[in-house]
Amino acid sequence: MVNDFWLEKMPQTTITHLSSTGSDHCPLFMKMVSTTIDHTKYFRFLNCWVDNPHLMETVETCWEKEVVGTGMLKFQKKMIRLSNTLSVLSKREFGDIFQMLRMYEEQVHKAEENYINNQSDSNTSILHVINAKYIKFLKLEDTILKQKTQLQWFKEGDTNYKYFHLVIRGRRRKFFIHKVSNENGDWIQGDDNIAQVACEHFKGIFTGEEKLINEHTLECIPRVINQDQNAQLTIEPSMDEPKEVVLSMNPNSAASPDGMNGYFFQKCLHIIKNDLMGVVQAFFSGQMIPKYFSHSCIVLLPKVNNPNKLTEYRPISLSNFTNKIIFKLMSNILRPILPDLISTNESGIVKGRSVSDNVMLAQEIIH
């Protein structure tokens, strides 16, 4: 009944089958919701900025300005200041890339018409200049859309503007929750009502009960960590370890809640490495992670094609890249001793073990 442009303007359009009365056909009730709320545009590091000759100089100048505070607080203040600086740089150097692309596209059409009508040298040179600018912004748009859609299998230059926007629109429609059914079977509609029910549902799942733990039970568990392994667990990482972790992670991962991704950390590591090391050392010395670092963006992914209940959604969280570095360091420290901590009959978690081994074992026992 509608096309993609309709769904772009009113993505929350829903169709419900009503009960049939006096006919063998069910009437369709279509509800149209026009989203006119201006959402806050958050900062996001764009990979195409790295090609700008002024980027590294801007990052270094901004980062080297003195900041007062502890290791984690200094890193936080510098990241916030840098994001504001890069936003200004983007507006000055690039502007609105999508708007500029449409403008140069119109200029290319006009220049081509002038060239066809009058094939002079001046019109030829003008056409070449405009074409060069158009191709430049076309490549920038291609890079931004790939980064937004996370489609890594496209080759460079395979620009398909309509296809990319169809992917973005499809994902937006998929993430809309039009209505959900609560535990009593009642339908909940409206963004505020759905948000309240969702918060209560997942709060009940992730909130533990305050119960006293009988520590005498722990005495039955044997100690499997020796002094040498304990020394390895408590040693602080060296300067090379965070660098190896950063370079080993995916540079094209989704941008963190603070707007920075792995590509920024890899390209600007030589500038921020000392402050990053200060954050790592502060954590491994026992300091608490502030809310700025531990902040996560939670998204509900549907488990089924047409989810109707909150139990049919799977929550995932997007953490800051700095958090991922700390988690990866902890993982590298724990990995060598995990086989000693986890029983051999546990077929998951440890590298080299497979869940299918237990399945095959169960089949053999039953046989």
Each of the 367 residues of the chain gets a pLDDT tens digit; together they read: 777 777 777 777 777 788 877 778 888 888 877 665 556 677 888 887 888 888 899 999 999 998 888 888 889 899 999 999 988 888 787 666 666 666 656 666 666 666 566 666 565 665 566 666 556 655 655 555 555 555 444 444 444 545 445 555 555 556 677 788 888 888 888 778 888 888 888 888 888 778 887 888 888 888 888 888 888 888 888 888 889 999 998 887 777 888 888 889 999 999 999 999 999 988 988 888 888 888 888 888 888 888 888 888 888 888 888 889 998 999 888 888 888 888 877 877 777 788 888 888 889 999 9
Residues 6 or more apart from 287 whose CB is under 8 A from it?
70, 71, 72
Closest CA to 196 of 337, 67, 310: 310
Q: How many domains in the chain?
A: 2
Give dist(CA 285, CA 63) in Å, integer: 24
Closest to 275 measured CA to CA, from 85, 87, 89, 60: 60
What is the span of the domain harbouring residue 6?
A: 1-39
- Report if residue 161 sits inside a domain: no
As a whole number of angstroms, the distance between CA 73 and CA 79 comes to 10
Is 127 a domain residue? no
Q: Assess contact for 318 and 205: CB atoms under 8 A.
A: no
355: helix, coil or strand? helix
Is 318 a domain residue? Answer: yes
Angle at CA of residue 37, ends 172 and 304, nearest 5°:
25
| Model pLDDT, residue 150 | 54
Site of tokens 């094939």: 119
Residue 133, in any domain of the structure? no
Is residue 27 within 8 Å of residue 21, measured between CB atoms?
no
Query: Amino acid identity, residue 362?
Result: A
**C-alpha distances in angstroms, 286 versus 74, 109, 235, 241, 253?**
17, 63, 12, 18, 29
R_g of the chain, CA atoms, integer Å: 27
pLDDT at position 81, please?
92
Say how far apart CA 261 and CA 147 lie, in whole Å.
Answer: 11
Residue 248 lies in a domain: yes
Is residue 114 situated within a structural domain? no
Structure token digits, residue 131: 């074409």
Residue 132, pLDDT score? 64
User: 187: which strand partners?
Assistant: 181
pTM > 0.75: no
What is residue 188's predicted lDDT score, i.e. its pLDDT?
Answer: 85
Interatomic CA distance for residues 320 and 325, integer angstroms? 9
Number of helices (H) and strands (E) in the chain: give both, helices first: 15, 6
Terminal alpha carbon distance of the chain: 55
Distance CA 343, CA 76 (A): 40
List all residues 6 or more positions away from 195 whose beta carbon is below 8 Å from its beta carbon: none
Q: Which of 39, 54, 69 is the last residue of a domain?
A: 39
The verdict on residue 270 lying in a domain is yes
243 lies in some domain: yes
